[in-house]
Amino acid sequence: MRLSVIIPTLNEAAELRQAVASVRSRSSSGSVEIIVADCGSTDGTARIAKDTGLCVTTNASLTSRARACNAGAAVATGDALLFLHADSRVPARFDRLIEEALRDPRVGGGAFEFALDGPELRLRLVEAVNRLRYRCHARYYGDQGIFVRRAVFEAAGGFPDIPIMEDAHLCRKISAFGTMPLVQTPMLTSPRRFYNGGILRTFALDVLIGVWDFMRFNPNSLSQKYRRDNQRRGRRPAQSSPHRHVQV
């Protein structure tokens, strides 16, 4: 099985090298294709990707993480696709773990266990609630490293063109073609978004957005809510990294 790793980016120069290094050093085969789908970074992210020998795709239409992931998938050559956040670090033998999950023909895709790279007890609370959530309802988020068979991804129509919660909606689409098991090895992700906004406050907003999405509220309204929250924290959404609910 050939695996393509697709990394959507927006101003991720500080994180990209480590993400790529983790993919290359923790691959069991050493033949993983890495594609960076850049959303118009101004900090040299695309240049770093090219200097590192990666395939880079970028154009003016990549205005959301969903579009970036679809653009990366369009040029990928792998039989399976892994969508990876730039501030997430793959576990050892991640490619073998994906291959083992996909040996079952009933499996359409899956994701890794959610984990945050920080010592605070409040981060353990965030992890615990999220782990309970996706065990009850297999709708994974992008910082878990969602993987999918290429044929299933194409049959499902890829990521929906929505500004928020596109990862959970992709899982819903994949589920129509097969099961989505959880690989119980953690995908470790930076807690920077929780530190920037306050751990409990950011987590509460995540829960609210998740509930609103479950109730089928308009995704554009959810995205506007998240952008307003970023602005209250003194951050400019256009320069936010492509995190779980951030419009890239």
pLDDT tens-place string over residues 54-66 = 999 988 788 889 9
pLDDT of residue 12 exceeding 60, the answer is yes
Pairing mode, strands 146-149 and 80-83: antiparallel
The pLDDT score that the predictor gives to residue 212 is 76
pLDDT band at 237 (very low <50, low <70, confident <90, very high): very low
pLDDT of residue 30 exceeding 80, the answer is no
Token pair recorded at residue 55: 């395939």
CB 209 within 8 A of CB 244: no
H or E segment to which residue 202 belongs: helix 199-214
**Cα separation of 206 and 39, whole Å?**
23
What does the angle CA 156 – CA 241 – CA 39 come to, to the nearest 5 degrees?
Answer: 65
Q: Give CATH for domain 3-192.
A: 3.90.550.10
pLDDT band at 222 (very low <50, low <70, confident <90, very high): low
The pLDDT score that the predictor gives to residue 121 is 97
pLDDT of residue 85 exceeding 90, the answer is yes
- pLDDT exceeding 90 applies to what percent of the chain? 72
- Mean pLDDT computed over 59-84: 94
Token pair recorded at residue 128: 């615990």
pLDDT band at 173 (very low <50, low <70, confident <90, very high): very high
As a whole number, the mean pLDDT across the chain is: 88
